A and B are shown apart, each in its own frame.
Chain A
Amino acid sequence: MDNPIENTGFVFSKESLRKKFRWSEFFSEKIITGVAFLSITIIVLIFFFVFRETLPIFHQKKETKKIESVQKQEQYNGEETSVAKNSAGQEQYGVITKDTLMMENQVPGEDTIVRGSDEATVKSLLGKEWLPVSDRPRYGLVPLLVGTLKITLLAILFAAPIAILAALFSAAFAPHWMREIIKPAIELLAGFPSVVIGFFALMVMASFFQNIFGYDTRLNAFVGGVAMALAAIPIIYTITEDALTAVPRSYTEASLALGASRWQTALFVTLPAATPGIFAAILLGIGRVFGETMIALMATGNAAMISVNPFESVRTLAATIGAEMAEVVFGDTHYSVLFLIGSLLFIFTFCLNALAEFYVKGRLVKRFQGK
């Protein structure tokens, strides 16, 4: 019998089997790898550029300490003119900036006043008053932080139990056809733009709850919290449901075989086995609510005050950026403080995500592999 390969006259050798180098392959691989780096690059750039805009706050503080008072004034004038140039070149409110700055430069006495308030600015970051637009601006972040935490707490208190129970229902109890309706419906809720939920809260929910509870301020933390819960529910539901269905069948089967009923199995076996996943779901829900802007802008009343009453207006960190950034002078202290708030939000959500990712994943793998 003839060997077919020998018939073609082709003989395999080490040389012929070696992978051929092709430029098209080389380039396509390099380009694809390069593009894949983009996501990492974007994260790094966000870090860098959001931080960069906050630097002036801390920079100014150092300078004032070093320079003596007379020099300070000169330095200040020089600095400001360059800022005026910059801002005229870069932003749309340039005309206004120039006018106000020229006025300030003409009146030497006013410089020190403005300067003084700038110094006070940095100190006032930990204060209890958020009054960025006043004669003596104060940038106390405490009320904003309290407001954000209050809203987050309320929203998660509403969203987490409902979403987790609903996930348990569709993962453990619901008949197949019902699950086929519930899951896509909640996925559709995830697709509702937050401005639509905010509008609904502002126009419908606020009045509805006011009729029930009879509070004074129509827009308050409670309304905002419920609206935010609507935004957080799909996230918590989806991740919890995934975690519940990922619990190995052997767990539930063992429980059922030992004589436990279906609900006992769901409550005492499936749910505890999925706790790391549920924990991650809640963390991501918190992240979503913490940074949510449009609902906060529209439904919470936006008054920066410190109180524990859920029926008082609040102003969140994200809403403050959204409301004030458009009106602020570029390069101003107020502008930098808003970027500082942005950095805080970014760091916080980044840490939440990292926690959800590493801690939870490690726990889940360990648990299911029985280590």
Chain B
Amino acid sequence: MSKKNRITGALFVGTTAFSAFLIIAVIIILLVVIIIGGKDTFSWEFLTSFPQDGMMKGGIFPAIYGTALLVVIMSVAAVPFGTITAIYLTEYASETSILAQTIRFAVRTLATVPSIIFGLFGLGFFIKFVGGGMDDVFLGGQLKWGQPNILWASLTMSLLTLPVVIVSVEEAIRTVPREMREASLALGATKWETIRRIVIPGSRSGIMTGTILAVSRGAGEVAPILFTGAAYYLATLPTSLSDQFMNLGYHIYIMATQSANVDQTLPIQFATTLVLLMLTFMLNLTAVIIRSRLRRKAK
């Protein structure tokens, strides 16, 4: 091979390697900057106390609590429906049927719809249509459900995370060996019994990965809850489904862009970002580990 060719080759490979390392470097810089910026303010007290002095001081407990509540309600809605859809796609639908392909297309579309659209949908459907309708029918027009609250925010978020659950559960179900299913059917179990006793237990780790990824996504998204239930500041924790709530991501957004004195609260902002980043980072890391183990098992 000519010398010129070899130099071009080295340059080309070098460029690709540089691109890969550039991405890794940016990830590391982002992590380091946020950790350094937030580590002084970050403490147990910061996590467990309420904001004080108009959010200039104090902790972020209500935001953590609100986020936790949001993802719990969201998972309760998204995980069963996502799992069942995945079971349908793998166990019942034939790969080539138009219905199955339409469902697959819908799931992928759902995954690419911008998150702000879910917010609009939550406002138009859950709050105005369902909530407003409930108020008209049950409360005689008295305003209770027809306004932003944690239930509507969680349900909006569950639509966003549904594809995440479906995709991971489907992947896990496919790793359940065919022999197991056939053995079960040959022993006289029905299809539903096979699914319940063999397929679902066999894909438990996939359901867990899906839930973890969904929780991580739901904890980090802000756009869908901007006008479906997140509140700027609340003195009390949400106690009912019709209450508004504080949220970590929304807290960061508000503090960084709308707060009266952005510079003074900078340490709090960094610490809050650190908390959110650590939360999603840990969740994703767990999911990545479980998933790679699952993939190795599949091979």
Q: Choose from A90, A195, A230, A237 the contact partner of B252 (Cβ within 8 Å).
A: A195
List of A residues within 8 angstroms of B114 by Cβ: 287, 290-293, 318, 345-346, 349
Report yes or no: B15 in contact with A193, Cβ–Cβ below 8 A. Answer: no
Distance, CA A228 to CA B22, complexed state (A): 16
Report yes or no: B84 in contact with A35, Cβ–Cβ below 8 A. Answer: yes
- Tell me if A131 counts as interface (CB < 8 A to partner B): no
Say which size band chain A's interface belongs to. Answer: 35 or more
- Tell me if A137 counts as interface (CB < 8 A to partner B): no
Kindly identify, within residues 185 to 209 of chain A, every residue whose CB is under 8 Å from any CB belonging to chain B.
Answer: 185-189, 191-200, 202-204
Stretch binding the partner chain, chosen from A9-17, A73-81, A169-177, A250-258: A169-177
Encoded as 1 (CB less than 8 Å from any B CB) or 0, chain A from 14 to 42 comes to 00000000101100110111011111101
Report yes or no: A25 in contact with B192, Cβ–Cβ below 8 A. Answer: yes
Kindly identify, within residues 98 to 135 of chain B, every residue whose CB is under 8 Å from any CB belonging to chain A.
Answer: 102-103, 105-110, 112-121, 123-125, 128-129, 132, 135
Report yes or no: B85 in contact with A298, Cβ–Cβ below 8 A. Answer: no
CB-CB under 8 A for A187 and B288, given A32-B88, A204-B33, A291-B115: yes
Report yes or no: B117 in contact with A346, Cβ–Cβ below 8 A. Answer: yes
Kindly identify, within residues 330 to 350 of chain A, every residue whose CB is under 8 Å from any CB belonging to chain B.
Answer: 330, 338-339, 342, 345-346, 349-350
- Tell me if A89 counts as interface (CB < 8 A to partner B): yes
Report yes or no: B141 in contact with A52, Cβ–Cβ below 8 A. Answer: no
Encoded as 1 (CB less than 8 Å from any A CB) or 0, chain B from 148 to 191 comes to 10000000000100110010000000000000000000000011
Interface of A is mostly: helix
Report yes or no: B115 in contact with A293, Cβ–Cβ below 8 A. Answer: yes
Chain A, residue nearest B83 (CB): A35
Report yes or no: B116 in contact with A321, Cβ–Cβ below 8 A. Answer: yes
- Tell me if A168 counts as interface (CB < 8 A to partner B): yes
Question: Which 5 residue pairs of A and B lie closest in terms of their CB atoms, listed nearest first?
Answer: A291-B114, A193-B220, A169-B16, A36-B88, A165-B19
Q: Chain A interface (Cβ within 8 Å of chain B)?
A: 22, 24-25, 28-29, 31-33, 35-40, 42-43, 45-46, 49-50, 52-53, 89-92, 94, 161-163, 165-166, 168-170, 172-174, 181-182, 184-189, 191-200, 202-204, 230, 233, 237, 261-264, 267, 284, 287-288, 290-294, 297-298, 318, 321-322, 325-326, 330, 338-339, 342, 345-346, 349-350, 352-354, 357
Q: Chain B interface (Cβ within 8 Å of chain A)?
A: 1, 5, 8-9, 12-13, 15-20, 22-24, 26-27, 30, 33-34, 37, 81, 84-85, 87-89, 92-93, 102-103, 105-110, 112-121, 123-125, 128-129, 132, 135-136, 141, 143, 146-148, 159, 162-163, 166, 190-192, 195, 213, 216-217, 219-223, 226-227, 249-250, 252-253, 256-257, 266, 269-270, 273, 276-277, 280-281, 283-285, 288, 292
